[in-house]
Amino acid sequence: MSGQAIENLFAEDRKYPPSDDFTARANAKPGIHDEAEEDYLAWWHRQALERITWFKEPTEILDDSNPPFYKWFSDGELNISYNCLDRHLATNGHKVAYHWVGEPGDRRTITYQDLHDEVGRLANALAELG
């Protein structure tokens, strides 16, 4: 290492800005930090209502009565599987969720519909077990 301190090797100042196309499609637009800073509880509430499908919408945003055990949206009810898979099937069911690579020559491409079907099978198997 020719006498360099290890801390010097951790210094990184290169920047890799996103492409204009990527920036145009980003969820986070300019000013997002200002909005959140202005009223962070209202901002998080709006994000939760716009980005998550709730079966019972939360009315309490943050319960900070027992630090450090904070509870966000504690009176809301949602189904995480529905939010991650089901609600996207109509538009993205045919798209690749992930590529699985096992032993050499053992590969599988899993679409969102495939993943949804497998999650359903697992849920049914677990329900049968009680």
Kindly report, residue by residue over 16-60, the tens digit of the pLDDT.
999 999 989 998 888 888 989 999 999 999 999 999 999 999 999
Among the listed residues 77, 75, 76, 95, the one whose alpha carbon sits nearest the alpha carbon of residue 85: 95
**Is the same domain home to 84 and 115?**
yes
pLDDT in tens, 57-110: 999 999 999 999 999 999 999 999 999 999 999 999 999 999 999 999 999 999
The residue behind tokens 């509880």 is 41
Q: Which domain holds residue 69?
A: 36-77
CA distance 104 to 35: 50
**Is the same domain home to 83 and 128?**
yes
Predicted local distance difference test score (pLDDT) of residue 2:
59
pLDDT at 1 over 80: no
Q: Count how many domains the chain has.
A: 2
**Is the same domain home to 42 and 66?**
yes
The residue behind tokens 């492409």 is 19
**Cβ(121)–Cβ(85) below 8 Å:** no
**Is the same domain home to 86 and 130?**
yes
**Is the same domain home to 84 and 114?**
yes
